[in-house]
Amino acid sequence: MIHVENLTKYYNDCCAVDQISFDINKGEIIGLLGPNGAGKTTIMRMLTCFLRPTSGNIHIKEFGIDSEPLQIKKLLGYLPESAPLYHDMLVFDYLDYVADIRKIPPKKKLVRIRNMADLCSLNDVMHKPIGELSKGYKQRVGLAYVMIDDPEILVLDEPTSGLDPNQIVEIRNIIKQIGKEKTIILSTHILSEAEATCDRVLIINAGKIVADGSTLSLMEKVSDNSFINLSLQNADRKSVEEKLGSLKQITGIAQISGNNKENNNDILKLKITCSSLSDCRADIYKQIKQTDWILLEMHQETKTLENLFRELTKEK
């Protein structure tokens, strides 16, 4: 549905987006992740025809950004990070005004406004001034605004920015509901948000795509190793290294805290590196069982999207 090829954008001598290419299928919820200044907002503004690329091509359905930008805009609903709301207007009047701008026929206009009020849970505030609403409600009004003419594609720039945890869950649920029928592109700094909401993520760093895939497939690439945290009593590091080092899958034993002296009662905390992604806790337990060490804790670290994000976007 969306085809981006060698997209590049310069601001004077600064390269904000550097020859990126990707495709988005109909019905996908795509998350753009990246640190500040990575190029996410620039990509969104080019997709929505607010910025012209320095080079490269964007095709949305059969339309090209250079030849038919107006047709592309008719397919899109774009919500920037600061929603363009008129704070002196009542919520109903604002949505009515937007519906007129989008040229929704009078017979359909009231139905669309009611549908948006139901979808975005705005019925209780339809006759309140927008300026008196909480940020969460303002964000809901913004979502209703971009949905009012039923666009095929939604582009949402940091839709949960500045919201409290309860408001984030509410907006997330709305996005997931909309995503059953629409193609959605959203940017976010909240990695848990991407994991919970998106079918696929593009991680952007310094204007380039450094990872592309489902959250599950990306997390599988976090590391070829697995890590196990151990807490032992009545053990010293040297003895642990000799005992556990006999296991072929263990490639490293790092001490986190505790003393190296033998026969002390301090808690020895270790991080065990296993060369395989398989769970080797059973083998470790069997080795410990043969000793007089007291096992206080053993757990395998869970791989997260945050691990991958930090690895791919850290400064080098």
What is the predicted pLDDT for the residue at 301? Answer: 76
- pLDDT band, very low/low/confident/very high, at 221 (cuts 50, 70, 90): low
What pLDDT digit, counting tens, does each position of 18-66 carry?
999 999 999 999 999 988 889 999 999 999 999 999 999 999 999 999 8
For residue 222, the 8-state DSSP code is S
What is the predicted pLDDT for the residue at 265? Answer: 61
pTM: 0.76
- Is residue 261 pLDDT above 60, yes or no? no
- pLDDT band, very low/low/confident/very high, at 303 (cuts 50, 70, 90): low
What is the predicted pLDDT for the residue at 57? Answer: 93
- Is residue 159 pLDDT above 60, yes or no? yes
* pLDDT, greater one: 262 or 139: 139
Label the pairing between strands 76-79 and 153-157: parallel
Mean of the pLDDT values across residues 76-95? 93
Tokens of 190: 């909240």
Instruction: Give the H/E segment covering residue 106.
Output: helix 106-119
Mean of the pLDDT values across residues 199-215? 90
R_g of the chain computed on alpha carbons: 26
Residue 257 · residue 269 · CB < 8 Å: yes
Enumerate residues 6+ apart whose C-beta is below 8 A from 15: 8, 9, 207
Mean of the pLDDT values across residues 95-122? 94
Residue 188 · residue 158 · CB < 8 Å: yes
Handedness of CA 154, 163, 139, 35 (dihedral sign): negative
- pLDDT band, very low/low/confident/very high, at 220 (cuts 50, 70, 90): low
- Is residue 309 pLDDT above 90, yes or no? no
What is the predicted pLDDT for the residue at 262? Answer: 47
Mean of the pLDDT values across residues 247-256? 88
- What's the chain's average pLDDT? 88
Query: Domains plus CATH for the chain?
Result: 2-219 (3.40.50.300), 226-306 (3.30.70.1340)
What is the predicted pLDDT for the residue at 111? Answer: 95
What is the predicted pLDDT for the residue at 263? Answer: 46
- pLDDT band, very low/low/confident/very high, at 204 (cuts 50, 70, 90): very high
| Burial (CB count within 10 angstroms: exposed 0-12, middle 13-18, buried 19+), residue 43 | buried
